């Protein structure tokens, strides 16, 4: 008989480790362990992260400590960490201990980021994502024109001013461009929208960074931002939506010629 066998539907009387039944004399840490063992560790660590027992942004306990805590092998612990990392609950970095990330909307989008980046390599992928951004931002500028508060207008004005100051510096202009659009996502006071903006920025950045830039082109984009801002201040949702749509349509026509159309 093998030294150990996985328990199915029963538990051993004398020796059961993390869902694995071990016959006397067997070594639980030297044998393969079932996926259910990792599942138990995952469930417990996830509970500790969500409840705050493991503090957000703190290092995860060392592997050896987790092995002792859960009576599990190194393989099981590493499988659990990998799974939690794929869910966005742990940030793994080479040569550093994993860091706890309490779930929020940004965490949720980060967890699917790898899949989105893969989809962007498919034909039409970038355009589909860009079109979804246009759809959402058209609604956001209409909402801003209708319901933006005084502090929202102040933030938009400051973002627009920073954008203007950066016209001659294309790297800085790109960052202030992102920031101006980012303010639009904060106006509804819904935490989902800023997280979505972070997603768009992250997913599209590798493509937009390839776009040719110049002070002349920056000025065109600034004027578009200015038109959007003016329509919002004047409480004209139709004009705000039109200015936004024209701006993003022109931006797409400019960027599309810089890429392989098979990828767009």
Domain that holds residue 147: 111-263
So what's the pLDDT on residue 103? 75
Q: Which residue has the higher pLDDT, 32 or 147?
A: 147
- Picking from 182, 178, 181, 186, the residue whose alpha carbon sits closest to that of residue 148 is 186
Mean of all residue pLDDT scores within the chain: 83
Q: What is the pTM of this model?
A: 0.65
Whether residue 152 is found in the same domain as residue 89: no
So what's the pLDDT on residue 113? 65
Whether residue 228 is found in the same domain as residue 132: yes
Alpha-helical segments (H) within 87-167: 105-111, 113-119, 125-147, 150-165
Instruction: Tell me what the mean pLDDT of segment 68-80 comes to.
Output: 93
Whether residue 133 is found in the same domain as residue 87: no
The CATH number linked to 51 is: 1.10.10.10
- Greatest alpha-carbon span in the chain: 82
Instruction: Give the residue carrying structure tokens 């801002």.
Output: 229
pLDDT digits (tens, 9 = 90+) for 195-204: 899 989 888 8
So what's the pLDDT on residue 260? 61
Instruction: Tell me what the mean pLDDT of segment 144-148 comes to.
Output: 98
Whether residue 99 is found in the same domain as residue 158: no
Whether residue 117 is found in the same domain as residue 97: no
């Amino acid at each position: 008989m093998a030294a150990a066998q996985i328990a199915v539907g029963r538990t051993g009387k004398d020796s059961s480790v993390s869902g694995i039944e071990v016959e006397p004399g067997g070594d639980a840490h030297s044998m393969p362990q079932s996926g259910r063992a990792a599942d138990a560790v995952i469930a417990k660590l996830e509970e500790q992260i969500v409840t705050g027992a493991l503090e957000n942004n703190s290092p995860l306990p060392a592997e050896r400590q987790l092995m002792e805590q859960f009576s599990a092998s190194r393989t099981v612990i590493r499988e659990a960490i990998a799974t939690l990392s794929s869910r966005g609950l742990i940030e793994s970095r080479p040569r550093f201990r994993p860091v706890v990330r309490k779930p929020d909307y940004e965490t949720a989008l980060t967890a699917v980021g790898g899949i989105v980046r893969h989809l962007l390599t498919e034909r039409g992928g970038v355009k589909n994502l860009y079109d979804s951004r246009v759809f959402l931002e058209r609604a956001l500028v209409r909402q801003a024109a209708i319901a933006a508060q005084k502090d929202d207008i102040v933030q938009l004005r400051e973002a627009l001013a920073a954008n203007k100051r950066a016209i001659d510096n294309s790297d800085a202009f790109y960052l202030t461009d992102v920031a101006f659009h980012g303010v639009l996502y904060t106006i509804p006071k819904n935490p989902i929208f800023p997280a979505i903006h972070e997603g768009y920025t992250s997913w599209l950045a590798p493509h937009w960074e390839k776009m040719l830039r110049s002070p002349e082109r920056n000025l065109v984009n600034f004027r578009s931002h200015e038109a959007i801002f003016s329509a919002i201040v004047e409480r004209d949702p139709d004009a705000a939506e039109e200015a936004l749509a024209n701006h993003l349509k022109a931006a797409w026509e400019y960027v599309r010629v810089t890429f392989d159309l098979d990828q767009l």
